[in-house]
Amino acid sequence: MEIFHISAECYPMAKVGGLADVVGALPKYQKKAGHEVRVVVPCYDTKFKKENEFECVHWGDVKLGNFNFPFSVLKEKTDKLGFELYLIEIKELFDRPNVYSYQDDVERFVAFQIATLDWIIGRETIPDIINCHDHHTGLIPFMIKYSYKYAKIEKVRTAITIHNGLYQGQFGFDKLYYIPEFDLKHIGFLDWSNAINPLAVAVKCAHAVTTVSPSYLDEINVFANGLEMLFNSVRDKSKGILNGIDIEVWNPAKDKMIAETFSIKTFEKGKQKNKEKLCEIFELDPTKPLFSFIGRLFDEKGGDLLPQASALALSENFQEINILILGSGNPIIEEQLAALKNDYKGNYNAFIGYNEELSHLIYAGSDFILMPSRVEPCGLNQMYSLRYGTIPIVRRTGGLKDTIIDFGDNGNGICHNQASVGDIVYSINRAVGLYKNKESFNKIRKLGMGIDHSWERVCQEYIEIYNLIIQKNEG
């Protein structure tokens, strides 16, 4: 099967969150399973772009109405990622350091999608599957089916994978002319609440819809920023597939980003060394349990609860615990978390920003990871934590519900029901109790390390869906 993954992020080329990890791993395992797999992302000005070699395999012009953007398709030369990586270079729109949050994001991602399809129709072979990821690539299933320009590939099967349904990429019908010409009788596919909603478009037009966990599929039927009814109506072509993790990148026995590597046999000593390193860097106390948070500091992740929960847990348990935060996002939350450094010196610290290397050290050196998310389509942090012998403390939602069971039920973590300061602090207190009981503490850490969340198993579920939609004889 020839499979294209089209996405705004792909690790290690460009990463903001879990989308990058998935698009950097799933294709690798699909390739290992014998398929031809190609990943297409925009060519941002990132470290990976600067440090690697590419060859130009195609060029052309994208037209958005009267605007004309020259583009090139660059192929990574060595295929060292385990799949073919292609970058869509549109200098005017993507030669910038960040992935998102520019005023012209609509133009950037519409142009990216058009350039990608322009290139695909010019190739000799026609792909079997185009797997789109999130709203940035949501117009593709529509354009393939209905834009005259892409008639050559109109039968290609498409899937949309939803990593986060809260973001939908809406824009006004005043920009309708950006989309390559189609019969206006199909315009309804673009419309959701009088706007062009790329995520809704993909859900309507793709042959299959997948979400990144089974529970998240249930949740978006009741809470999806206005798309609930739509998700309900496409249940028969939808499936929730729990993400895997890339066990080659996330391997405590070989990880070059941590202070000391360790296995399930040596985790006690290995984790302690990593904890000591973290405590040295952040002036914390290595004899006390270390609770960490890694992630985007937004309400969706329960980021707004962290300042108060940290302050309360540290004052209730002062001298008993350490808390370490790695994250960035809402400036108000960032400021509150940074301010706590002065109040709880020696037991609390925060690194406000993004740091991949530090994230590995934190997974390796922490005792517990906090994930008080309000919404968590899958969540990868808890799976990385398990693999690194760190016990997840999670709110029961989405993928967290699918992967973490409370230790009171013989499970692998600590769970609470509410996204509230009280629930977080209560869970921290339970964790402190567990930490003191070394036998139970180690048993749970070991249990987590032994769980198989690898992509090998999961990637087959995607292939089954692809086969299903290829076999179905529909338009």
> Could you say whether residue 17 binds ligand ADP (CB under 6 A)?
yes
Binding residue per annotation — 15?
yes
Task: In angstroms, give the least distance from the CB of 377 to ligand ADP.
Answer: 7
Residue choice 27, 180, 289, 327 for contact with ligand ADP (CB under 6 A) = 327
Task: In angstroms, give the least distance from the CB of 391 to ligand ADP.
Answer: 16
Q: Which stretch binds ligand ADP (CB under 6 A): 17-25, 69-77, 276-284, 404-412?
A: 17-25
**Max CA separation in the chain (angstroms):** 69
> Could you say whether residue 21 binds ligand ADP (CB under 6 A)?
yes
Task: In angstroms, give the least distance from the CB of 416 to ligand ADP.
Answer: 18
Residue closer to ligand ADP, measured from CB, 99 or 196: 99
Cα Rg, the chain, nearest whole Å = 23
Cβ-proximal residue to ligand ADP, closest one: 18
Q: Are 21 and 28 in contact (CB under 8 A)?
A: no
Residue choice 72, 197, 349, 359 for contact with ligand ADP (CB under 6 A) = 359
> Could you say whether residue 261 binds ligand ADP (CB under 6 A)?
no
> Could you say whether residue 354 binds ligand ADP (CB under 6 A)?
yes
Task: In angstroms, give the least distance from the CB of 79 to ligand ADP.
Answer: 23
Residue closer to ligand ADP, measured from CB, 35 or 416: 416
Site string for ligand ADP, 362-391 (x = CB under 6 A): ----------------xxxx----------
Task: In angstroms, give the least distance from the CB of 454 to ligand ADP.
Answer: 16
Residue choice 225, 355, 418, 429 for contact with ligand ADP (CB under 6 A) = 355
Residue closer to ligand ADP, measured from CB, 129 or 278: 278
> Could you say whether residue 356 binds ligand ADP (CB under 6 A)?
yes
Residue closer to ligand ADP, measured from CB, 378 or 421: 378
* Token pair in block for residue 469: 């939609």
Task: In angstroms, give the least distance from the CB of 380 to ligand ADP.
Answer: 4
Residue closer to ligand ADP, measured from CB, 90 or 380: 380
Q: Which stretch binds ligand ADP (CB under 6 A): 72-80, 323-331, 428-436, 442-450?
A: 323-331
Chain-centroid distance, C-alpha 328 = 15
Residue choice 266, 308, 328, 420 for contact with ligand ADP (CB under 6 A) = 328
Sign of torsion over alpha carbons 308, 309, 312, 317: negative
Tell me whether strands 54-64 and 67-76 are parallel, antiparallel or unpaired.
antiparallel
Q: Which residues contact 198 (CB under 8 A, 6 or more apart)?
A: 109, 135, 136, 137, 138, 139, 168, 169, 170
> Could you say whether residue 206 binds ligand ADP (CB under 6 A)?
no
d(CA 461, CA 455): 10
> Could you say whether residue 248 binds ligand ADP (CB under 6 A)?
no
Residue closer to ligand ADP, measured from CB, 381 or 454: 381
> Could you say whether residue 18 binds ligand ADP (CB under 6 A)?
yes
> Could you say whether residue 302 binds ligand ADP (CB under 6 A)?
no
Q: Are 378 and 212 in contact (CB under 8 A)?
A: yes
Q: Are 222 and 175 in contact (CB under 8 A)?
A: no
d(CA 301, CA 64): 36
Residue closer to ligand ADP, measured from CB, 113 or 390: 390
Task: In angstroms, give the least distance from the CB of 313 to ligand ADP.
Answer: 21
Site string for ligand ADP, 279-298 (x = CB under 6 A): ---------------xxx--
Task: In angstroms, give the least distance from the CB of 123 to ligand ADP.
Answer: 31
> Could you say whether residue 255 binds ligand ADP (CB under 6 A)?
no
What is the total count of residues that contact ligand ADP (CB under 6 A)? 18
Task: In angstroms, give the least distance from the CB of 66 to ligand ADP.
Answer: 36
Angle at 458 between CA 454 and CA 463, to 5 degrees: 140
Task: In angstroms, give the least distance from the CB of 177 to ligand ADP.
Answer: 33
> Could you say whether residue 244 binds ligand ADP (CB under 6 A)?
no
Q: Which residues contact 59 (CB under 8 A, 6 or more apart)?
A: 70, 71, 72, 73
State the binding site for ADP-alpha-D-glucose: 15
User: Where along the sequence are the contacts to ligand ADP (CB under 6 A)?
Assistant: 17-19, 21, 294-296, 326-328, 354-356, 359, 378-381
State the binding site: 15
